[in-house]
C-alpha cells in the first residue's frame, strides 16, 4: 500500500500517518518527493484495510499495490538508484560500465593474464567464476575458494574491482570477503535463502534473470534482497529460454527500458550468455547500451579454444579491444 500525502501536508501529519500505520503492526517508509511525500507500507501479508488511514489529515490518496514487489518499484522509490562497486558508480546518468573476464577462473596465471588484457582494453570490472553452476556435475566446477583468491589478487594487481558468483547461502560470507560485487546466477535467481542472505550483507549484488523468469518474478526476486536491508542491487538480463535454438538463449532487450519504467534499480546486460556465440556478442553488447543498459558483462578469454567453459562465446583480447573502441564511438550518442 502507498499513502500519498497532500502537497500541503506538513511533517506532523506525515508523522501521525506513520504512527497509525505502525499501530496496525506494519512498517511505514516515508518517501519524500519534490511535490509531496508518499508513505510506503510494508509487512502486510494481504489486503490492508485502509479505513483508519484514508481519513487522516493530510492524506490525499491510498493506492493498493498488488505487485509482488514494492521496495524495488518506482512507485515506492521514484528516483534512480546508483550502485557503487569499489569506486565505480553504476546507474542512470553515469557512464555505462564494462565487466569483462573469463567464464571461470582457471588458474592464477590465467586470471592475471586475462585481467591485464581486459584492463589494457579499458574494462571497468574484472569478472570470473570461482563457484560455477554447471548444468551437469561431470564438467569443470570451478576452483572455488582458491579461484576466488586468484581472482581477488588479479583484480588488485591491475586495479579493477571484481564480480563473481555466489551459489549458496553458506558461502556468502566467504565470497563477500573477496568480491566487490556478488553475482547471483540465472539458475539461482529464485534461491530465496541465498537472496535473503545477500540482503543481510553490505556489498552490492548483481542479480541475473532466471532463464524462464518473467519480469515480475525477476523483480520479486530482487525484492527479497531489498527487504532484508540491502538496496545495492543491479539487475542483469542474460537471455531467456524460448523455442529458438540457433542462439543459446534469446536476448530480451525490451526489458532494459521496461525495467527503467518499473524500477529504480540499475540494469546490466550479459550478451555472452544471451547469445552463446562470439560473433553475436559485440552487436548485442552495443544494442544493449543503446537500449539504455547501465553496463555490460562480457566473457573474454586469452585462448577461447582452450577455455574450460564457454569458449565459443568468449571474445579474444583482440575482439574485446575492438568492441571497446566501438563502445567508445557510441559515447556522444549515449551522452557521456
Q: Which residues bind ligand PEP (CB under 6 A)?
A: 103, 129, 133, 165, 185-187, 208, 238, 270, 273
What are the backbone angles phi and psi of residue 106, rounded to the nearest 5°?
-105, -10
Residue placing its CB nearer to ligand PEP in the complex, 232 or 275 = 275
Residue placing its CB nearer to ligand PEP in the complex, 34 or 135 = 135
CB of 133 to ligand PEP, least distance (A): 6
C-alpha 289/C-alpha 271 separation (Å) is 11
Residue placing its CB nearer to Mn ion in the complex, 267 or 281 = 281
Contacts of 6 (CB under 8 A, 6+ apart): 36, 58, 59, 60
Binding partner of residue 133 among ligand PEP, Mn ion, none, CB cut-off 5 to 8 Å per kind: ligand PEP
Give yes or no for a contact between 294 and 259, defined as CB atoms under 8 angstroms apart: no
Contacts of 209 (CB under 8 A, 6+ apart): 186, 189, 218, 235, 236, 237, 238, 240, 252, 255
CB of 143 to ligand PEP, least distance (A): 14
Footprint on residues 253-312 left by Mn ion (CB under 5 A): 310
Q: Nearest residue to ligand PEP, using CB?
A: 185
Residue placing its CB nearer to Mn ion in the complex, 154 or 260 = 154
For the chain, strand residue ranges (E) read 2-5, 27-31, 38-42, 59-63, 83-85, 88-90, 97-101, 125-127, 162-165, 181-184, 205-208, 233-237, 267-269, 295-299
Residue placing its CB nearer to Mn ion in the complex, 21 or 240 = 240
Residue placing its CB nearer to ligand PEP in the complex, 3 or 221 = 221
CB of 173 to ligand PEP, least distance (A): 21
Residue 200's nearest CA partner among 227, 233, 163 is 227
C-alpha 173/C-alpha 197 separation (Å) is 9
Give 123's DSSP letter.
-
Binding partner of residue 186 among Mn ion, ligand PEP, none, CB cut-off 5 to 8 Å per kind: ligand PEP
| Bridge pairing between strands 83-85 and 88-90 | antiparallel
Residue with cell 551522452: 335
Q: How many residues bind Mn ion (CB under 5 A)?
A: 2
C-alpha 227/C-alpha 236 separation (Å) is 19
CB of 269 to Mn ion, least distance (A): 14
Binding partner of residue 208 among Mn ion, ligand PEP, none, CB cut-off 5 to 8 Å per kind: ligand PEP
Out of 72, 90, 97, 103, the only residue in the binding site for Mn ion (CB under 5 A) is 103
Residue placing its CB nearer to Mn ion in the complex, 103 or 130 = 103
Cell numbers that stand for 61 in this block: 490518496
CB of 50 to Mn ion, least distance (A): 48
C-alpha 130/C-alpha 277 separation (Å) is 22
Radius of gyration of the chain (CA): 21
Binding partner of residue 185 among ligand PEP, Mn ion, none, CB cut-off 5 to 8 Å per kind: ligand PEP
- Helices then strands (H, E): number in the chain? 12, 14
Residue placing its CB nearer to Mn ion in the complex, 227 or 249 = 249
The contact mask relative to Mn ion for 54-93 (x = CB under 5 A, - = no) is ----------------------------------------
CB of 97 to ligand PEP, least distance (A): 15
CB of 268 to ligand PEP, least distance (A): 11
Residues of this chain that interact with Mn ion (CB under 5 A) are: 103, 310
Amino acid at each position: 500500500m502507498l499513502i500519498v500525502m497532500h502537497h500541503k501536508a506538513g511533517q506532523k501529519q506525515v508523522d501521525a500517518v506513520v504512527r497509525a500505520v505502525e499501530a496496525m503492526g506494519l512498517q511505514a517508509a516515508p518517501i519524500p518527493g519534490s511535490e509531496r511525500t508518499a508513505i510506503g507500507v510494508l509487512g502486510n501479508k494481504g489486503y490492508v484495510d485502509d479505513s483508519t488511514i484514508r481519513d487522516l489529515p493530510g492524506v490525499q490518496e491510498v493506492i493498493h499495490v498488488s505487485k509482488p514487489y514494492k521496495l524495488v518499484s518506482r512507485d515506492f522509490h521514484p528516483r534512480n538508484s546508483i550502485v557503487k562497486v569499489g569506486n565505480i558508480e553504476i546507474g542512470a546518468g553515469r557512464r555505462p560500465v564494462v565487466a569483462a573476464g573469463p567464464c571461470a577462473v582457471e588458474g592464477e596465471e590465467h586470471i592475471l593474464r586475462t585481467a591485464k588484457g581486459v584492463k589494457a582494453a579499458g574494462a571497468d570490472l574484472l569478472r570470473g567464476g570461482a563457484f560455477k553452476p554447471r548444468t551437469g556435475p561431470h564438467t569443470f566446477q570451478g576452483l572455488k575458494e582458491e579461484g576466488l583468491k586468484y581472482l581477488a589478487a588479479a583484480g588488485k594487481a591491475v586495479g579493477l574491482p571484481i564480480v563473481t558468483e555466489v551459489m549458496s547461502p553458506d558461502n556468502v560470507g566467504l565470497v563477500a570477503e573477496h568480491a566487490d560485487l556478488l553475482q547471483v546466477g540465472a539458475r539461482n535467481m529464485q534461491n530465496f535463502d541465498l537472496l535473503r542472505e545477500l540482503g543481510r550483507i553490505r556489498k552490492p549484488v548483481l542479480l541475473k534473470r532466471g532463464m524462464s523468469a518473467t519480469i515480475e518474478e525477476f523483480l520479486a526476486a530482487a525484492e527479497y534482497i531489498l527487504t532484508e536491508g540491502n538496496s545495492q542491487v543491479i539487475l542483469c538480463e542474460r537471455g531467456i529460454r524460448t523455442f529458438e535454438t540457433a542462439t543459446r538463449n534469446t536476448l530480451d532487450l525490451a526489458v532494459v527500458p521496461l525495467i527503467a519504467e518499473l524500477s529504480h534499480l540499475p540494469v546490466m546486460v550479459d550478451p555472452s550468455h544471451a547469445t552463446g556465440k562470439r560473433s553475436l556478442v559485440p552487436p548485442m553488447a552495443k544494442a544493449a547500451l543503446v537500449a539504455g543498459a547501465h553496463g555490460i558483462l562480457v566473457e573474454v578469454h586469452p585462448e577461447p579454444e582452450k577455455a574450460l567453459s564457454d569458449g565459443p562465446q568468449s571474445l579474444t583480447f583482440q575482439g574485446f579491444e575492438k568492441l571497446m573502441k566501438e563502445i567508445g564511438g557510441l559515447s556522444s550518442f549515449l551522452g557521456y
